[in-house]
Amino acid sequence: QVQLQESGPGLVKPSETLSLTCTVSGGSISSYYWSWIRQPAGKGLEWIGRIYTSGSTNYNPSLKSRVTMSVDTSKNQFSLKLSSVTAADTAVYYCARTLSIFGEDWFDPWGQGTLVTVSS
Amino acid sequence: VMTQSPAFLSVTPGEKVTITCQASEGIGNYLYWYQQKPDQAPKLLIKYASQSISGVPSRFSGSGSGTDFTFTISSLEAEDAATYYCQQGNKHRITFGQGTRLEIK
């Protein structure tokens, strides 16, 4: 079965760029959308954006100006970059396979999540 | 916007649990339910408002369409302690409900 694993620095300084990678195992990354979702401590879930294996992206309008996603099909990986981070970007970041039909998305499975703290 | 209620429930094992989610505009049946246990990733329980997911216990069910949706646990078990979220996936404006934390009495 497909499994996802996030990786990247757990601590990022304010104003710098947060970079995370999600590695997909147990199946091919091809022909699916893949999303990033985050969750501040004790709070709800926020969808950040998604990428198709062709490289086509869709981002949450509230984050669009700071988000870049990319995909490397040869490594079965996709990545997130979030620029100009502040303390408000401190959260657990999840990657998830995105099932999409007629423009309607849901998520299954999810990675275990990785905590990113923004602090100097 | 998805409005989920209640925010917190404390229920005795064996009892029925009902959580509601209201969309600010009609979304057909494009509504999904997730379970998140402490320090774990969310897990998909229900898709298309009422379709069960393979491997998910049959005590979990969903209903509704348009703007009003319901998630039900028919007979609560201790292992169901978690936070439950609804999600709508409408054309890249993906949003989650605020979550319902379910405590076992």
**Residue B91: which pLDDT band, with cuts at 50, 70 and 90?**
low
Closest residue of chain B to A108, computed from CA coordinates: B44
Are B42 and B87 in contact by the 8 Å Cβ rule? The answer is no
For chain A, counts of helices (H) and of strands (E): 0, 11
- In chain A, which among 56-115 make CB contacts under 8 A with chain B? 58, 60-61, 94, 99-100, 103-113
pLDDT greater than 80 at residue B7: yes
The winner for highest mean pLDDT among A33-42, A96-105, B82-91 is A33-42
Q: How far off is chain A from B74, nearest CA to CA, in Å? A: 24
Q: How many CA atoms lie within 13 A of B42 on its CB side?
A: 31
Determine what percent of chain B is predicted with pLDDT higher than 90: 93
Closest residue of chain A to B41, computed from CA coordinates: A112
- DSSP 8-state secondary structure symbol assigned to residue A120: -
pLDDT tens profile B57-68: 999 999 999 999
First to last CA, chain A: 39
- Which residue shows structure tokens 């949706």? B69
Per the structure block, which two tokens stand in for B41? 């990733």
**Residue A8: which pLDDT band, with cuts at 50, 70 and 90?**
very high
Of B40, B41, B44, the CB nearest to A106: B44
- Which residue shows structure tokens 């998830």? A96
